Amino acid sequence: MTTRDSKDSDLQRSLTLLWTERRRGQRGPRSRLTVELIAQAAVRIADADGLDAVSMQRVATELGYSTMSLYNHVPSKDLLLEVAADVGAGAPPDLGGTADFREAVRRWVGALWAGFHSRPWILRVPLDHAPVGPNQLAWLDRLLRPLLAAGLPGGEARAAALHLTAVVRGTAQISINMAGEHKRDNGIPRSDADLTHVVAELLDPADYPALTAVHAAGLAGPERADGDALPFELGFGVDRFLDGIESWVAAKSGD
Amino acid sequence: MTTRDSKDSDLQRSLTLLWTERRRGQRGPRSRLTVELIAQAAVRIADADGLDAVSMQRVATELGYSTMSLYNHVPSKDLLLEVAADVGAGAPPDLGGTADFREAVRRWVGALWAGFHSRPWILRVPLDHAPVGPNQLAWLDRLLRPLLAAGLPGGEARAAALHLTAVVRGTAQISINMAGEHKRDNGIPRSDADLTHVVAELLDPADYPALTAVHAAGLAGPERADGDALPFELGFGVDRFLDGIESWVAAKSGD
DNA sequence: ACGTTTCTATGTATGGTGTACATAGTTTCG
DNA sequence: CGAAACTATGTACACCATACATAGAAACGT
């Protein structure tokens, strides 16, 4: 144990490790292992074989160290996963050139959406703390800029950013796994589309009137995602939200 | 193994178990254990000690059975958790008497929000399949009704419902654990409010201009959640979204 | 009524997990 | 040049999900 200071919490300790580069001037041998290296290895494994494949043993052997070495740099697996999620998130897109705030937000949403698609395991990392990694903060910052530029005061911009982040995250969680590449059952890949049919047979239309109505009407959905357009399931809600924001700031400024 | 039909997938099998009550007329002794009982036990444990405390052993001993008995009724722990999440969600609120569609949606959102607060472990159950439990479908149905009544066509109502579900789920995931009753560090409870301060010291304002601006302005937030009002962090976005929906249907019908 | 079938519940065993703890070795400071 | 402090390692433990074989009981066909 490092035991630098007993009041030093695990969380704060690992936070400092994340934010400050290697401190120098300590006694022992300098560590060849770093939090970044460990997190990157975890990301590599999660990318290749999913989040469940990330175990301390696997990460350690991936790096060529013993399992317990990791605990010199990371207090627990849970925190390692949070750090890995931050590392895996990467840097946010640069929206500097986007004048229209709607377009900027849409691009931000699209980038996050794409990120969740390329690393779906991030959605499965349980978040135990407020987002606090450098990349997560950078993403948030990049979203806040167009919202502030649009004329929202601080508190409302924060709420709007939370709303958008939550929408993308929640929508991704709900709809990504429906595509279900990774899902195979008895070796047969199974898209959840069939599943809804299976259920449809079982449920009583009287109990779910709205659902059956929508189900009947909703099958004609040949959605196109040309270029940077968002898929309809995500884009419709985002557009309505931006409509609302726009008229909100218009009403306030015209007030 | 039941091996009723080799094409019968695990998922479908457990779905059938969830939806159809106990079939009769089989050979062996009727089972005293049921999926519902098992799921309820899992819910009880998760309520008491969190999702991590839910193990097959614990569930079994809670019911007074051996560990392996559970596998006669549930194909895997993962599916058990999904069923438990559905059971734990409970029945949706009855919005029958609410004439205003905005008010109905807000009440639905508030109820789901409250549900996630009272059972935060539901947010940690990884969802591997399209929502398909009876309760989840009931919640969805109840949300679709006011949206359809407001004049949205099927596909848009579905997208709007997805948006709202995702918002509540995502916002809950992000902001619930910030309250962090369960979080204690070195035995000292720690609300993540301090945490942001710790980070604030570390980060360079030049890198996160929007964030620091919002942070400076945003501290004056004595939000009140009187009665059935939603907290500002959630309510602002929902209200803007509903604004957008309203003007959308108005524009369409006036068209 | 009876044997056969078919189901439930159990016990045992296996390979994996996160991590507490003690130790050996190495680097830097006083 | 000791001595302190740090890194990496090895061992050990409790627990986990679940594959598999078995025992027993209930309902069916006769």
Q: What is the DSSP string of A164-229?
A: HHHHHHHHHHHHHHHH-TT-EETTEE--HHHHHHHHHHHS-TTT-HHHHHHHHHHT-------TTP
Are B32 and B148 in a shared domain? no
Q: Which amino acid is at A255?
A: D
Number of independent structural domains in chain A: 2
Are B118 and B150 in a shared domain? yes
Rg (CA), chain A: 22
**At A165, is the secondary structure helix, strand, or coil?**
helix
* B144-184 per-position pLDDT tens digit: 999 999 999 999 999 999 999 999 999 999 988 765 544 54
Q: What are phi and psi of B164, to 5 degrees?
A: -65, -40
Are A101 and A226 in a shared domain? yes
Strand D-proximal residues, CB under 7 Å? A 2-4, 26-33, 65-69, 71-73; B 25-30, 54-58, 67-68, 71, 76-78
Are B141 and B247 in a shared domain? yes
Alpha-carbon dihedral sign for residues B181, B183, B188, B191:
negative
Distance CA A138, CA A59 (A): 27
Distances (CA, A) of B22 to A201, B31, B87, B104, B188: 18, 9, 17, 36, 49
Residue B10, chain A, CB below 8 Å: the answer is yes
Residue B141, chain A, CB below 8 Å: the answer is yes
Distance from CA of B16 to the nearest CA of A (A): 8
Q: Which residue in B170, B198, B244 is closest to A167 by CB distance?
A: B170
Selection from A208, A185, A175 nearest residue B14 by Cα: A185
Residue A33 maps to a domain = yes
Distance CA B166, CA A163 (A): 9
Of the two residues A203 and B66, the one the predictor is more confident about is B66
CA(B17)–C1'(C4) in Å?
A: 28
* B195-251 per-position pLDDT tens digit: 666 666 667 788 899 998 988 776 655 556 566 689 999 999 999 999 999 999 999
* B180-203 per-position pLDDT tens digit: 544 544 445 555 655 666 666 667
Selection from B253, B1, B67 nearest residue B150 by Cα: B253
Are B106 and B231 in a shared domain? yes
Residue B162, chain A, CB below 8 Å: the answer is yes
Are A97 and A145 in a shared domain? yes
CATH number at residue A69: 1.10.10.60
Q: Which chain B residues have a beta carbon less than 8 Å from that of A216?
A: 154
Domain range spanning residue A53? 10-88
CATH number at residue A245: 1.10.357
At which of B35, B62, B88 does a domain end?
Answer: B88
A211 to B141: CB separation less than 8 angstroms, yes or no: yes
Are B162 and B228 in a shared domain? yes
The mean pLDDT value for B129-142 works out to 88
At which of A34, A57, A88 does a domain end?
Answer: A88
- Residue pair A190/B9 in contact (Cβ under 8 Å)? The answer is yes
Are A31 and A149 in a shared domain? no
Q: Which chain B residues have a beta carbon less than 8 Å from that of A238?
A: 163
Q: What percent of chain B stands above pLDDT 70? A: 76
Q: Which chain A residues have a beta carbon less than 8 Å from that of B142?
A: 210
Strand C-proximal residues, CB under 7 Å? A 25-30, 54-58, 67-68, 71, 76-78; B 2, 4, 26-33, 65-69, 71-73
Residue B156, chain A, CB below 8 Å: the answer is yes
User: Residue A174 corresponds to which tokens in the numbers above?
Assistant: 């709900």
User: Residue A78 corresponds to which tokens in the numbers above?
Assistant: 């849970």
Give the pLDDT of residue B153: 95
Block means of pLDDT (10 residues each) for chain A, length 255 residues? 40 62 69 92 98 98 97 93 96 92 98 97 90 89 97 96 98 79 49 63 82 78 65 97 98 84
Residue of A nearest to B222 (CA): A155
Q: What are phi and psi of A242, to 5 degrees?
A: -65, -35
Residue B205 maps to a domain = no
Residue A237 maps to a domain = yes
Residue A20 maps to a domain = yes
CB atoms within 10 A of CB A174: 19
At residue B195's C-alpha, the angle toward residues A11 and A108, to 5°, is: 100
Give the pLDDT of residue A25: 62
User: Residue A14 corresponds to which tokens in the numbers above?
Assistant: 């690992």
Selection from B170, B161, B12, B130 nearest residue A178 by Cα: B130
Residue of A nearest to B219 (CA): A155
Give the pLDDT of residue A216: 78
A203 to B10: CB separation less than 8 angstroms, yes or no: no
Distance from CA of B210 to the nearest CA of A (A): 6
- Residue pair A80/A32 in contact (Cβ under 8 Å)? The answer is no
Are B174 and B248 in a shared domain? yes
Are B141 and B228 in a shared domain? yes
Are B65 and B42 in a shared domain? yes
Give the pLDDT of residue A204: 79
At which of B52, B70, B88 does a domain end?
Answer: B88
B195 to A129: CB separation less than 8 angstroms, yes or no: yes
A155 to B218: CB separation less than 8 angstroms, yes or no: yes
Give the pLDDT of residue B182: 47
Are B146 and B241 in a shared domain? yes
Residue A185 maps to a domain = no
Q: Is residue B53 packed enough to be buried (19+ CB in 10 Å), middle (13-18) or exposed (0-12)?
A: middle
